[in-house]
Structure 1
């Protein structure tokens, strides 16, 4: 019962909070259910609309966020996204949702959402979370780290575009839900992007940027 109560409140908090500040353009009609990209005949910044006469309730529906994600991977976490690609009816509404499962000591690696602010609520477990600021004119705020330990029912906000992370600090599983202020917030995982790009970034760039020897860069690129 407690889990169900927290689950419902997580969705309500995340949804209401992200509706208050949406980074996507405001809709000019009741809905614009997205057409599958494979069936699109034109390309726009977003997705084109389905014929409203063919819209059905299932276009606004998703099932399965009560099911744990598979955390059997190198970092021990799994993000289950519910954005416009899962619910076509989210198109133009400026909001989406994710469930994040963490294995014991699992990590949601440092990453950014280029198009969305994120508000996260913990359902189970204890998370160490944080974000890093950009390079503003004020040198006292340059790359400043803000961190917090979160417990069930706690909420934390990650500003749009800033690098952030979550770490499960316990030997039991953890679960969180997050709302994002975009129908398609995007995600850029820092390590994957820097060391796993295709084609690879020239090691000369990375050795100078990270001030390490080339063999270190070679090893990191090999892992990704």
Structure 2
């Protein structure tokens, strides 16, 4: 490409202007000063949240500087434990070191005749091993899983003794019952850091009376529903009547 003498003069003049330093405007200087002087705002995030959004695993370890943060104590009591036992859960909220592992765990103690009432885990499959005593377990996986004659829903029920294991699949309704007069203990692992739990009867009875009456085919009325709601235990409950008699445990009023 050819340039005329006039064009070369114009280009040289423009280059000189672009190369010359310019003083920042008053508004630009003030904004920069404000940015420099401002203290970093507190994020207000929990440790679990910080770990969850950390850029790398290396950054997560930097957020856990104390070696004791990698130990979870299942000896602590459960808040709001039921009459029939207690369960202590390690999830990413109660044990932040689990963030990034995709795993959780729980330890449960089921008292004599105690029952871990019907419940589901919405985000994980549970592998449960009994470490003391025995448990009678029952599970219904999902619609379409039928018993041998194909005429009813299948309930998978087992007696699980010490150091035996059974799975409860994600979303399945399941329960455990201690038929003996001594405590039963179990350890449960989950393939999720936030496995969650939903007590089925408590969830069902939370619906309005008209929905429940329709769901039960009009076989119950409002008064019946209110009695059921008042009797529903929070978690692990005292169980089957024959066991209560055998173990000389008075029935609840």
Which residue does the alignment assign to 1:163? Answer: 173
Task: Extract unaligned runs of 5+ from structure 1.
Answer: 1-36
Q: Secondary structure of 2:189's match?
A: strand
Q: How big is the alpha-carbon RMSD for the aligned residues of Structure 1 and Structure 2?
A: 3.0
Q: Pick the aligned partner of 2:201 from 182, 191, 194.
A: 191
Distance change (3 Å), C-alpha of 1:70 and 1:218: closer
Aligned counterparts of 1:38 and 1:106: Cα–Cα separation in 2:
41
Aligned counterparts of 2:151 and 2:170: Cα–Cα separation in 1:
16
Offset, 1:158: 0.7
Q: Secondary structure of 1:207's match?
A: helix
Offset, 1:181: 0.8
Q: Pick the aligned partner of 2:188 from 178, 183, 189.
A: 178
Q: Pick the aligned partner of 2:221 from 204, 213, 216.
A: 213
Q: Pick the aligned partner of 2:123 from 115, 118, 135.
A: 115
Which residue does the alignment assign to 1:77? Answer: 85
Larger Rg: 2
Aligned counterparts of 1:115 and 1:38: Cα–Cα separation in 2:
27
Aligned counterparts of 2:170 and 2:223: Cα–Cα separation in 1:
34
Which residue does the alignment assign to 1:14? Answer: none
- Whether 1:39 aligns to 2:39 is no
Offset, 1:38: 6.1
- Whether 1:55 aligns to 2:56 is no
Range that drifts further, 65-74 or 209-218: 65-74
Offset, 1:54: 3.2
Q: Secondary structure of 1:184's match?
A: coil
Task: Extract unaligned runs of 5+ from structure 2.
Answer: 1-42, 233-253
- Whether 1:134 aligns to 2:142 is yes
Offset, 1:67: 6.1
